Amino acid sequence: MAGLTDLAEIYFRTNVLKSILIRNVYFHKLSPEGDTGRVKSKYKVLVNRIPELETYIFFALTSHISTCPSHVRCEINQGDYHEKVGRYPDGISYINAEKVITESVDSLISYHRPPDEFNFLGKILQTKLNEIRSKCKEITTTRSIGSDVRDMLLAASGEAAEYIRKFNI
């Protein structure tokens, strides 16, 4: 029989994962940079999840248009958000569709300890999510990119089946 702490942990994990939904925008206070390991605050939007791999796929929002070349850029305006509960980025935000952020279930659980490190801010509209996914798919067919980037973009676009087959799941 599971102990009380085991049941509390299962309850905590279940509630955290139930709250992490596609189209949600989060403020991640201590987000590690994938390539440098540097930690900084980021706004992130969840564009897909792959339950079979316990993987969640995000894009970071930025206010710096210079970091997002036009052929891989999606813009998110203030009118593209709804169900706001927190402070959003001011003005226009941009997503560089070539910069996919993957998070494991365990990482997402750890971001909720201590509380307030990974905060829900609201949602983007379904039409905006469709635009982001379409841009990801477009990049895989029109650009010369590495297979790893291509696989992640397909997963972000909702074409997870091909990504999962690669790992024989």
Predicted confidence at residue 169, as pLDDT, reads: 47
Helix (H) or strand (E) holding 31: strand 24-32
Hey, where are the domains in the chain? 21-166
Average pLDDT, integer, range 51-70: 89
Which of 7, 14, 48, 42 lies closest to 28 in space, CA to CA? 42
Say yes or no to pLDDT of 19 above 70: yes
**From CA 28, how far away is CA 111, in angstroms rounded?**
8
Question: What's residue 40's pLDDT?
Answer: 87
Architecture of domain 21-166: Roll (2.30)
Better pLDDT: 14 or 3? 14
Q: At what angle do helices 147-156 and 126-142 cross, to 10 degrees?
A: 160
Band (pLDDT 50/70/90 cuts) for residue 2 is low
Cα 93 from Cα 62, distance rounded (Å): 5
Distance from C-alpha of 88 to C-alpha of 104, rounded to nearest angstrom: 24
Average pLDDT over residues 31-35: 78
Q: Please give the pLDDT value at position 11.
A: 78
Q: Which tens digit of pLDDT belongs to each residue from 147-167? A: 778 888 888 887 765 555 565
Q: What is the mean pLDDT of residues 111-133?
A: 86
Percentage of the chain exceeding pLDDT 90: 18
